[in-house]
Amino acid sequence: MKKLVVLTGAGMSAESGLKTFREMGGLWETHDVYEVASPTGWARDRSMVLRFYNERRKQLLETSPNTGHMGLVELEKKYEVRIITQNVDDLHERAGSSNILHLHGELRKARSTSDPGLIYDLESWELKEGDLCEKGSQLRPDVVWFGEAVPAIEEAAEIVSIAGIFVIIGTSLNVYPAAGLINYVPEGVPVFVIDPNEVPIPGNSQVKVIPEKAGMGVRKLIEALENE
């Protein structure tokens, strides 16, 4: 089966009601997201960082996958679909996608601050001061903060380098190293971009733009692939 690799961003979850980063204008309440979602933010005001993620986790429990997520599951009938997402939500999982790589971590997981190998599923929406790992250290969101390494980037580049079709959905390609994955698409592999807004794509890969929101865009992608 041909490998269909999909890079998704916040726009993938927009129709599920989750705001994109750029829509938030990079702000949460009065705080700069780049400050809150960072090691310095954690060092300065850990309870504020925990509250930021608790509110997003709580909102996530009230949302569900949209038709865009479901369309990617449908594509698994004809392709080996590999999803690489910048999103920390679990909507691809809940839609039923079978192969997902989270570049920026997962909102519904917590990690030990003393041993990053200790990762726990969060049953409830709340992660509090005093919630400790088995070694007695404070738990933090298992999310990649600004300024931190992206451990899964090599694996993601590997996946993109064997793609037969590459699809970009709902990302402004503003943040590296995720945005750099486009450079690993093999020569001649068709690239589709699904986004209601213009997204500048670096390099000279021939790109087919589907100027739609994710739900309608994936529907049109399925039709376009049927006619290939």
Q: Would you name the residues annotated as active-site residues? A: 104
The nearest distance, CB 62 to ligand APR, in angstroms, is 18
Residues that bind ligand APR (CB under 6 A): 9-11, 14-15, 20-22, 86, 104, 170-172, 174-175, 195-197, 199, 213-214
Q: Which residue is nearest to ligand APR (CB)?
A: 11
The nearest distance, CB 134 to ligand APR, in angstroms, is 28
In the DSSP assignment, the letter for residue 210 is E
Closest CA to 206 of 186, 190, 194: 190
Query: Based on CB atoms, which residue is closest to ligand APR, 28 or 82?
Result: 28
Distance CA 93, CA 73 (A): 10
In the DSSP assignment, the letter for residue 82 is E
Query: Based on CB atoms, which residue is closest to ligand APR, 213 or 219?
Result: 213
Query: Based on CB atoms, which residue is closest to ligand APR, 74 or 80?
Result: 74
Q: Work out whether the CA dihedral 179, 141, 56, 33 comes out positive or negative.
A: negative
| Residue 101, number of CB atoms within 10 A of its CB | 17
**In the Cβ-directed half-sphere of 176, how many Cα atoms lie within 13 Å?**
3
The nearest distance, CB 14 to ligand APR, in angstroms, is 4
Q: Which residues contact 141 (CB under 8 A, 6 or more apart)?
A: 49, 50, 53, 105, 107, 109, 110, 111, 127
The nearest distance, CB 187 to ligand APR, in angstroms, is 25
Query: Based on CB atoms, which residue is closest to ligand APR, 133 or 153?
Result: 153
